[in-house]
Amino acid sequence: MGRHFLQIPGPTDVPDRVLRAIARPTIDHRGPAFARLAGEVLERLQAVFRTRHPVIVYPSSGTGAWEAALVNTLSPGDRVLAFETGHFSALWCAMAARLGLVVDLVPGDWRHGADPGAIAERLTAAHAAVMVVHNETSTGVRSRIPEIRAAVDRTGHSPLLLVDTISSLGSMDYRHDEWGVDVSVGCSQKGLMLPPGIGLNAVSPKALAHRGRLPRSYWDWEPVIAANRDGFFPYTPPTNLLYGLRESLVMLLEEEGLSEVFRRHDRHAEATRRAVRAWGLEVVCADEREHSSSLTAVLTPDGHDADAVRRLVLERYDMSLGTGLGRLAGRAFRIGHLGHFNDLTLAGTLSGVEMGLRAAGVPIEEVGVRAALARLEESA
Ligand SMILES: *Cc1c(COP(=O)(O)O)cnc(C)c1O
């Protein structure tokens, strides 16, 4: 009984009113009612990416939108500079290599964001693009995109800047135009509070002008942008998800407002870190400037399996936590605190984690929840 706590960092809990919006009759995607829906959604998507330029909507996962970013802009054999920030950056790089790009990878320890200092050393005129994951969902580390942009500009080279904002869009400050990003990659099931099924690309004029020669058909931006001018798509769009997206964008942009959305996530992330430190545990992120506000990855002490903690929390308290991915498997679990989430959701979430850690025999100080609540009270 009671509601399941879906505290993985995506898919996130979908608000009831978004579910209700989705549960409407599917309409003719070539009719006038659909054109109005598409127009409203596309305009609000520009606001959430903070761009005046086109946003492309795909019926896809985030992974599809990654592919779209690469195949629209790059050519076979192009060099790209990328950073090993964690599991998601590694997956995106592997995709780039499979598509025939040459990936120069700046190694990393999975506890830091992309290093702006490495750009001066590594970026050359031969690089067609720089790829960065803004919020590395496997580690809870945020890369400093404005500093990366400035470092790129200082080199005098002009690669495209491709940024994955999948787990930060709609929960952490992100500015496509102001930060000089060329392609921003997003999707539906994280901060936008929707089920999975929509992939997004926000594209700069420079990216639109820089058409690569990698083969593309379904992912080609041009037919989508052309059809979108009249509110349509070159293929069947995910009509019901777009109803839901219109609802969630109204909630984020018009009812709460983006700056308040970001403040709420910052506050919950800070309270979560207070809890982790009060338990005597360590967060994965090792740089104070780089904490994620949408999730926190927590290291378990040596000899304590993080997945055993997750299993107990699911069995006893009906809460899903994120597993350790890649090299953090078994060593870390992740607490998602993004999307449809408030102070009492955080209190319930951290209570479940504290009880789960105790049940799994992880040695902790039993004052984590208290420390988080104190932080919420003083910042209310
Ligand atoms: C979730 C996620 C992805 C992958 O999205 P899918 O919808 O599972 O394909 C990529 N990058 C980041 C940072 C993510 O959090």
Q: pLDDT tens digit string along 232-247? A: 999 999 999 999 999 9
Residues 152 and 286 in one domain: no
Residues 227 and 299 in one domain: no
pLDDT at 101: 98
Which domain does 97 fall in, by range? 16-255
Is 3 labeled as ligand-binding?
Answer: no
pLDDT at 262: 98
CA-nearest residue for atom 12, ligand 1, is 166
**C-alpha distance from residue 44 to each of 37, 51, 250, 252 (Å):** 11, 10, 8, 10
CA-nearest residue for atom 3, ligand 1, is 62
Q: How many structural domains are present in the chain? A: 2
**C-alpha distance from residue 118 to each of 44, 46, 288 (Å):** 35, 31, 19
210, 240, 255: which is the final residue of a domain? Answer: 255
CA-nearest residue for atom 5, ligand 1, is 62
Q: Is the CB–ligand 1 distance for residue 166 below 6 Å?
A: yes
Residues 205 and 310 in one domain: no
- Assessment of whether the complete model's pTM goes beyond 0.85: yes
191, 222, 255: which is the final residue of a domain? Answer: 255
Among residues 173, 195, 186, 140, the alpha carbon closest in space to that of 13 is found at 195
CATH classification of the domain holding 300: 3.90.1150.10
Residues 132 and 274 in one domain: no
CA distance 265 to 263: 5
Q: What is the mean pLDDT of residues 190-207?
A: 98
The confidence band for 279, taking pLDDT boundaries of 50, 70 and 90, is very high
Ligand 1 test: best mutation among 58, 187, 292, most atoms within 8 Å of CB? 187
Q: Are strands 183-187 and 160-164 parallel, antiparallel or unpaired?
A: parallel
Q: Is the CB–ligand 1 distance for residue 160 below 6 Å?
A: no
373 alpha carbon – ligand 1 mean position (Å):
30
Residues 239 and 141 in one domain: yes
Residues 240 and 340 in one domain: no
Residues 192 and 307 in one domain: no
Q: pLDDT tens digit string along 106-155? A: 999 999 999 999 999 999 999 999 999 999 999 999 999 999 999 999 99
CA distance 125 to 296: 37
Residues 246 and 262 in one domain: no
Residues 73 and 142 in one domain: yes
CATH classification of the domain holding 67: 3.40.640.10
Q: pLDDT tens digit string along 39-81? A: 999 999 999 999 999 999 999 999 999 999 999 999 999 999 9
225, 255, 285: which is the final residue of a domain? Answer: 255
91 alpha carbon – ligand 1 mean position (Å):
9
Residues 117 and 159 in one domain: yes
Residues 223 and 125 in one domain: yes
Residues 317 and 225 in one domain: no
CA distance 81 to 125: 11
The mean pLDDT value of the chain amounts to 98
Q: Is the CB–ligand 1 distance for residue 247 below 6 Å?
A: no
